[in-house]
Structure 1
Amino acid sequence: MNQQSLFRMIASMNLVPGSCITAFGDGENAGNSASCGADYDAYGYEGTDGWEDNIDLVAVNEGQYADPNYVANVNFPVDNRSAKLDGWEFAIQHFFGDTGFGVQSNYTMVDGDIEYDITGDPLTSQFALTGLSDSANLVLIYEKFGFSTRLAYNWRDDFLYSTTASANEPGHTEAYSQLDLNVSYDVTDNLSVSFEGINLTEEDARNYARTKQQPLRLDILGARYALSARYTF
């Protein structure tokens, strides 16, 4: 399931270009601002089933726009498009006899029927499914003599994370992989110690617009390590 962020689920009302009457909030203080002046006041908009998702629109009760027949523009998001998502997942896990060694792997292929057209008109917004990409991991396992060890390689292909990263320009995340290690040892039946290393190869994360020649962001991510102990009563 793919859902818009809360910030894109907001209703707003606008009376005239440049006016301060574009607001959201709750209660009688919704949209009140000193910049509005005395001509404006805020009232909650109540639907037939009570307060509409705790979002109140601003009304005008004084001044030149107090005419009840004045037409205002109210903008709010609607579900007006649909798309299909399909994919496959392959997984395998195997231990080699009683050696304690094993391997675990899976590969996920995902596809949707609506993709972003990077050659499209930048002045026109597009609808596309975000967050879709193939992914895979390979884990080497050792479980014996109180040791539990996982060395994991994780990979994810390029994917679209936003259709409006900058105005109508998209945002993509470049293919990314990292190597993680987790080792734990049961000292006693109650006490265990563990060591964890994340992103051992210190891979970085990159975001770009339509092509990789249009970088948007670079996150320099170093390796992270943790040492812990657990005791159960």
Structure 2
Amino acid sequence: MTDLVVPAPGLPTVPTGTGGRFPVRRVYCVGRNYAAHAREMGHDPDREPPFFFGKPADALVTDGADTPYPPVTARLEHEVELVVALGGGGRDVPVADALGLVWGYAVGIDLTRRDLQAEAKRLGRPWDLAKGFDHSAPVGTITPAAGVEPTSGAIVLDVDGELRQSGDLADQIWSVAETIAALSRSVGLAPGDLLFTGTPDGVGPVARGSVLRGAIDGVGVVETRIV
């Protein structure tokens, strides 16, 4: 066996409702999956199929840990989302088979350096540093799916106890199964993948010291403090 020339990085993991840890391979995110949020970002939700971007697996913040405020931004924004944890994989997965890949669900927050994203959009550049920076993906405990897809239920986010985002999973443009199937046409999915499924409207800025709490009925919560 070839000796490693630098230490191997550790595998990120997320706590689960079974007491074990879920190892994370990749983190995918779907953009503008709620009509009201698409409109608040200046887009027509009826005109586009799902599109995706990624975050590094080591961008996850777990177990209620603090989240450092990132550098080179003056506008860090919150986006609460349903997170899907895959226990199976495949390519070109039919919609009818997609839920069979799901191990469980969690609540996550897609933190965004909105000023960097706006500049990238203006210049036609990638969003990587606006979305995939260190500590950009707080996520709560993963609840086993038990063969059930949460198709409805309140999804909310509070900042310092003040309600900022409030929607319903029923308002998603693309269902979990449709989103998994669409993503599998572009990349091979595998056990350990996480999929952030989009956010309702009401996204907005947070500051150092802000306490964020996201919740989805029947799924769980995610909490973190910006430091």
Instruction: Report the structure number with the largest CA radius of gyration.
Output: 1
Same fold? TM cut 0.5: no
Q: TM-score range by the shorter chain?
A: under 0.3
Question: Hey, which of these two has a bigger chunk of helix by percent?
Answer: 2
Question: Hey, which of these two has a bigger chunk of strand by percent?
Answer: 1
TM-score, structure 2 as length reference: 0.22
TM-score, structure 1 as length reference: 0.21
